[in-house]
Amino acid sequence: MSAAPLLYSSAREHLRDWQVQRLGIIHALPSAGLTSLLTATPDYHLQQHFREHALALQSMGYASGTSLQGKFDLILINPSKNRQQTLGWIAEALNLLHADGRIMLCAENQYGARGLESHVRDITDDLSSFSKAKCRCMSFRSSSVNNPKLVEQWRQQSAVSDVPDLGLLSQPGLFSWDQADKGSELLLQFIPASLRGTGMDLCCGNGFLAHNISRHSPDIQHLHMVDHDQLALTCAESNLADSSMPHTCHWLDATTEPLPQSLDWIVCNPPFHQHQQQNVELGQIIIQRACDALKRGGELWIVANRKLPYEHVLTEKLGKVEILGQQQGYKIMHGVRP
């Protein structure tokens, strides 16, 4: 059993004795037990900022938003892979609970459940926890919180902030949130300053590539920024706020949803992890769809770890692939749509 089904089933067992009238779920995942839980709690609200999860929830008949509003009796949290983000969610949840409301969260042992429990114990002396199926589930009342200064610290440390090393706004949980990704830095060295027309930063994250391109390519007519993380797009939009370049942000699952088409150029640092697991196919699908989004003569620049098998995808779609450079374990690939 993964953490989300255990969280949902455990919460379902306590709805009556905890007198839950209004339920919120932060980072709601479309997992086993969700339907049973929500059926038993007519007044529920789901938060999800990843597009693929929001679409999966929608296919189950559940709407979600990128934030929770109002007050709740119980808030469930599916932890992020980023600890600071998870602690920030706890701080957020505490502000959304009724006076004696509860927080409940569950994490897999292999992804730091014990460490997370240790952090939670730093703010409450009334934590209830149990282990099952290689996961740890924990809950506590908002009224038991005895360290509000630490909670406020969690909130501040997880918020959007100016990161000096990036020169951008970013926040924990985003890709390479607090320092420039070495692959993206290398890619910038090979992207020509002569870019023009309409292009796309695919899997843009906090807008690192887009921000730098906008500063050095004045002839671009329009820039599309695409990412599956709404939180990342919020930062990307802010990071281009001072740019005169026309741009549009798109919250999309690049593997399934229509992308902007007939583009003159695309830059991309594709992901190769899904949740906590490496998924090479994810990057391959994104590259395939990037190739399809180009017009004839449109150009694609990709950065990837040197060992990732992407060349055959580019060859199949574009006819050939040019390796522009290989440094620090990365490779820069370039192709033109025939």
pTM over 0.85: yes
CB 75 within 8 A of CB 103: yes
Q: Quick one: pLDDT at residue 335?
A: 97
Task: Tell whether the model's pLDDT for residue 227 goes beyond 80.
Answer: yes
Pairing of strands 263-268, 23-26: unpaired
Q: What CA dihedral angle connects 239, 245, 251 and 255, to 10 degrees? A: -110
330 forms beta bridges with 305, 327
Quote the pLDDT of residue 272. 82
271 and 228 in contact (C-beta within 8 Å)? no
Q: Residues for the chain: how many in total?
A: 338
**Per residue in 166-181, pLDDT tens?**
899 999 999 999 999 9
Sign of the Cα pseudo-torsion (279, 205, 261, 264, in order): negative
pLDDT digits 0-9 by tens, 13-31 = 999 999 999 999 999 999 9
Burial (CB count <10 Å: 0-12, 13-18, 19+), residue 185: middle
If one counts every other C-beta atom within 10 angstroms of the C-beta of residue 138, the result is: 23
Backbone angles phi, psi at 238, to 5 degrees: -65, -35
Mean pLDDT of the chain: 96
CATH of domain 3-158: 3.40.50.150
Please list, in sequence order, all residues whose beta carbon lies within 8 angstroms of the beta carbon of residue 294, skipping any fewer than 6 positions away.
262, 263, 264, 265, 266, 300, 337
List pLDDT tens digits, range 281-310.
Answer: 999 999 999 999 999 999 999 999 999 999
Contact 201, 207 (CB under 8 A): yes
Domains 3-158 and 162-336 share a fold: yes
C-alpha 241: how far from chain center: 21
Residue 12: pLDDT band (50, 70, 90) is very high
Backbone angles phi, psi at 113, to 5 degrees: -60, -40
Residues pairing with 138 in the sheet: 105, 129
**H or E element at residue 258:** none
What pLDDT digit, counting tens, does each position of 110-162 carry? 999 999 999 999 999 999 999 999 999 999 999 999 999 999 999 999 999 99
Sheet containing strand 72-77, edge to edge, reads 44-47, 23-26, 72-77, 97-108, 135-141, 128-132
Q: Residue 277's pLDDT is what?
A: 62
Give the tokens for residue 17.
Answer: 């004795």
- Domain locations in the chain? 3-158, 162-336
Residue 305 one-letter amino acid? N
pLDDT in tens, 87-99: 999 999 999 999 9
Distance CA 172, CA 84 (A): 6
Q: How far apart are CA 129 and CA 337, in angstroms?
A: 56
User: Where does the pLDDT of residue 280 fall: very low under 50, low under 70, confident under 90, or very high at 90 and above?
Assistant: confident
Asked if pLDDT for residue 1 goes beyond 80, the answer is no
**8-state DSSP, 299:** E
3-state class of 98 per DSSP? strand
Specify whether the CB–CB gap between 37 and 28 falls below 8 A.
no
DSSP letter at 319 equals: S
- Going by C-alpha positions, the residue among 255, 300, 293, 292 that lies closest to residue 274 is 255
Report how far residue 211's alpha carbon sits from residue 294's, in angstroms, rounded to the nearest whole number. 21
- In the CATH hierarchy, which fold is given to the domain comprising 162-336? Rossmann fold (3.40.50)
